[in-house]
């Protein structure tokens, strides 16, 4: 019976290793710019590494402490990262102040756990609290988005599984944390998709299915050796984990790897490389396009939010291609006017041109290319960071732009405009751009109705 229990625990550890590593890396590949997404992704990857160490520990030919100590230290990171995610999450309801204080208390509790030692050797209540902290984070996300009732089912399921694992066996007490982390990662990815105006399930299922197929294809061969052999040996176990990790990483970051490989392979054929890049970008954008959003009947606040997201993705044509704004009637009209084919990249190109023209209309007339008065603030806030691509507050070293006007604007942002002020200006400017796009829609729709009649 003990042998079957150990084998079952090993299978669960491999399963949680693969699922956590896949979802953590998927979050990074989905939106590396989001702090919330990055923190949860890092928590999942930390847990995956801990699960791998725990699987290898009993069969290691050397001292078990070499793997046990890193595993226990890695298990301390997810509660801390989840607490940090809660603290940095902006709360927008009547209990905001109280909840922020509560989240700060959770962060302090996480630090006490980290400083007090490995929580598996402390009081069981501390271990339970560390395991349930990701669940608390998931509950907060559900609370913030009560219109999405379905995620509450995931919360209930995770709570049931947590209780079951803690009741059955203490050695499996680390698995409830994995369940809660997986649920939290799923909710964070879904929330990010909603905020971006993108479809979630097609993209996440594509990533999961491909990762699972690769892991089974290559890892299954090593698992077959386990089944044939009399016992699990450390080299084969390490090989199995490395194959699973490699399969997941290759699939999740296949877009970046493919671009690097094709840049090398087609270095002497730039036209072929560019044509293939366009086809790949269109194929990658399709799973993220949310066809259920009716852009013409979207309420004003949602339209402003989608416009703000489109502006932030101004320099990324692939992310812009998944914006619901590509289905605006003026985009369709511009495509028909120049006889272009109707595909996702052409629509993204026209949307980018529309946004650029709307930004240009914010510019004060006949007053030069740059100014610092109040009438210039909204134009400056959008044109230079998004159209020209300057990053005035970036800590990374970057060369000054060659254009003297852009250099002057960059210096002005750095010396005169706080980062928070620029963010507020961009939000207000996005409302002006959204209003401009909606006015264009109102002008086009009556004409289309007359032509149809």
Residue 84 or residue 349, greater confidence? 349
Q: Supply the pLDDT for residue 79.
A: 76
How many structural domains compose the chain?
2
Is 178's pLDDT higher than 70? yes
Q: Is residue 416 part of a domain?
A: yes
Q: Supply the pLDDT for residue 7.
A: 62
Is 98's pLDDT higher than 60? no
pLDDT band for position 359 (50/70/90)?
very high
Whether residues 230 and 330 share a domain: the answer is no
Is 92's pLDDT higher than 70? no
Whether residues 238 and 296 share a domain: the answer is no
Whether residues 179 and 116 share a domain: the answer is yes
Whether residues 102 and 166 share a domain: the answer is yes
Q: Is residue 276 part of a domain?
A: no
Nearest to 47 by CA among 82, 5, 85, 11: 82
Is 306's pLDDT higher than 80? yes
Q: Is residue 263 part of a domain?
A: no
Q: Supply the pLDDT for residue 139.
A: 58
Average pLDDT score, the chain:
77
Task: Provide the phi-psi class of 339: left if phi over 0, else alpha when psi is between -120 and 50, else beta.
Answer: left
Q: Is residue 282 part of a domain?
A: no
Strand partners, 13: none
pLDDT band for position 60 (50/70/90)?
confident
Q: How far apart are CA 52 and CA 68, in angstroms?
A: 11
Is 361's pLDDT higher than 70? yes
Q: Supply the pLDDT for residue 130.
A: 55
Whether residues 28 and 104 share a domain: the answer is yes
Whether residues 247 and 301 share a domain: the answer is no
Residue 229 or residue 373, greater confidence? 373
Residue 110 or residue 250, greater confidence? 250
With contact defined as beta carbons under 8 Å apart, do 307 and 433 qualify? yes
Whether residues 11 and 113 share a domain: the answer is yes
Whether residues 94 and 196 share a domain: the answer is yes
Alpha-helical regions (H) of 296-391: 300-312, 317-321, 329-337, 344-361, 377-382
Q: Supply the pLDDT for residue 405.
A: 87
Q: What is the mean pLDDT of residues 84-100?
A: 50
End-to-end CA distance of the chain: 78
Q: Supply the pLDDT for residue 72.
A: 78
Is 26's pLDDT higher than 90? yes
The one-character DSSP state at 120 is G
Nearest to 64 by CA among 73, 53, 75: 53
Element (H, E) at 15: helix 2-30
Q: Is residue 355 part of a domain?
A: yes
Sequence-distant (6+) residues with CB within 8 A of 82 are: 39, 40, 43, 110, 133, 134, 136, 137, 181, 184
Q: Supply the pLDDT for residue 93.
A: 37
Whether residues 295 and 386 share a domain: the answer is yes
For the chain, the farthest-separated pair of C-alpha atoms sits apart, in whole angstroms, at 85
User: Each residue of 37-50: pLDDT tens digit?
Assistant: 888 899 899 999 98
Determine the structural domain holding residue 24 and report its residue range: 2-252
Q: Comparing 115-129, 273-287, 305-319, 411-425, which segment has the lowest mean pLDDT?
A: 115-129
pLDDT band for position 443 (50/70/90)?
confident
Burial of residue 12, with CB atoms counted within 10 A of its CB: 0-12 exposed, 13-18 middle, 19 or more buried: middle
Q: Supply the pLDDT for residue 95.
A: 39
pLDDT band for position 6 (50/70/90)?
low
Chain centre to alpha carbon of residue 382: 24
Q: Comparing 117-121, 185-189, 200-204, 320-324, which segment has the lowest mean pLDDT?
A: 117-121
Residue 57 or residue 447, greater confidence? 57
Boundary residue ending a domain (198, 227, 252):
252
Boundary residue ending a domain (199, 233, 252):
252
Q: Is residue 69 part of a domain?
A: yes
Residue 34 or residue 379, greater confidence? 379
Whether residues 357 and 409 share a domain: the answer is yes
User: Each residue of 132-161: pLDDT tens digit?
Assistant: 555 555 555 555 544 444 444 445 445 544
Q: Comparing 157-161, 230-234, 399-403, which segment has the lowest mean pLDDT?
A: 157-161
Q: Supply the pLDDT for residue 103.
A: 47
Whether residues 236 and 322 share a domain: the answer is no
pLDDT band for position 427 (50/70/90)?
very high
Burial of residue 152, with CB atoms counted within 10 A of its CB: 0-12 exposed, 13-18 middle, 19 or more buried: middle
Q: How far apart are CA 105 and CA 100, in angstroms?
A: 9
Helix, strand, or coil (residue 396): coil
Q: What percent of the chain has pLDDT over 70?
A: 74
Is 123's pLDDT higher than 70? no
Q: Is residue 74 part of a domain?
A: yes
Is 330's pLDDT higher than 80? yes
Q: How far apart are CA 81 and CA 101, in angstroms?
A: 17
Q: Supply the pLDDT for residue 451.
A: 45
User: Each residue of 187-208: pLDDT tens digit?
Assistant: 889 888 888 888 888 999 999 9
Q: Supply the pLDDT for residue 170.
A: 47
Q: How far apart are CA 311 and CA 189, in angstroms?
A: 21
Q: Is residue 180 part of a domain?
A: yes
Boundary residue ending a domain (252, 280, 303):
252
Q: Supply the pLDDT for residue 96.
A: 42
Helix, strand, or coil (residue 289): strand
Q: Supply the pLDDT for residue 288.
A: 85
Whether residues 149 and 59 share a domain: the answer is yes
Phi, psi of 289 (to 5 degrees): -75, 125
Q: What is the mean pLDDT of residues 424-430?
A: 93
Helix, strand, or coil (residue 56): helix
Q: How far apart are CA 240 and CA 17, in angstroms?
A: 11
């Amino acid at each position: 019976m003990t042998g079957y229990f150990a084998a079952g625990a090993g299978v669960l550890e491999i399963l949680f290793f693969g699922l956590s590593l896949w979802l953590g890396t998927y979050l990074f590949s989905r939106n590396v710019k989001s702090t919330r997404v990055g923190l949860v992704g890092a928590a999942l990857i930390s847990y995956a590494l801990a699960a791998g160490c725990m699987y290898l520990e009993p069969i290691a030919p050397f001292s078990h402490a070499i793997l046990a100590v890193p595993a226990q230290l890695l298990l301390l990171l997810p509660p801390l990262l989840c607490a940090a995610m809660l603290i940095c999450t902006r709360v927008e309801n009547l209990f905001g102040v109280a909840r922020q204080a509560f989240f700060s208390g959770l962060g302090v509790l996480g630090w006490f756990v980290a400083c007090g030692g490995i929580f598996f050797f402390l009081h069981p209540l501390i271990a339970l609290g560390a395991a349930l902290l990701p669940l608390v984070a998931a509950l907060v996300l559900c609370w913030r988005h009560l219109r999405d009732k379905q995620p509450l089912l995931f919360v209930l399921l995770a709570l049931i599984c947590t209780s079951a694992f803690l009741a059955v066996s203490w050695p499996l007490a680390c698995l409830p944390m994995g369940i809660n982390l997986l649920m939290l990662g799923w909710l964070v990815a879904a929330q990010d998709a909603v905020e971006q105006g993108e479809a979630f399930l097609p993209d996440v299922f594509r990533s999961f299915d491909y990762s699972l197929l690769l892991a089974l294809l290559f890892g299954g061969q090593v698992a077959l050796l386990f089944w044939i052999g009399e016992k699990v040996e450390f080299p084969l176990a390490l090989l199995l984990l490395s194959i699973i990790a490699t399969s997941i990483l290759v699939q999740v970051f296949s877009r970046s790897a493919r671009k690097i490989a094709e840049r090398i392979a087609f270095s002497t054929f730039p036209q072929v490389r560019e044509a293939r890049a366009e086809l790949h970008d269109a194929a990658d954008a399709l799973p993220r396009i949310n066809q259920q959003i009716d852009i013409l009947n979207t309420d004003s606040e949602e339209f402003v939010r989608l416009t703000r997201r489109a502006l932030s993705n101004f320099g990324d044509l692939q992310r812009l291609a998944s914006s619901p704004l590509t289905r605006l009637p003026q985009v369709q009209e511009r495509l028909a006017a120049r006889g272009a084919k109707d595909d996702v990249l052409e629509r993204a190109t026209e949307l980018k041109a529309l946004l650029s023209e709307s930004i240009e209309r914010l510019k004060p007339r006949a007053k030069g290319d740059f100014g610092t008065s109040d009438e210039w603030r909204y134009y400056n806030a959008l044109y230079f960071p998004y159209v020209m691509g300057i990053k005035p507050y970036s800590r990374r070293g970057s060369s000054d732009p060659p254009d003297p006007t852009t250099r002057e604007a960059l210096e002005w942002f750095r010396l005169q405009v706080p980062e928070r002020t620029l963010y507020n200006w961009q939000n207000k400017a996005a409302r002006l751009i959204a209003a401009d796009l909606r006015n264009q829609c109102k002008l086009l729709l009556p004409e289309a109705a007359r032509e149809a009649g």
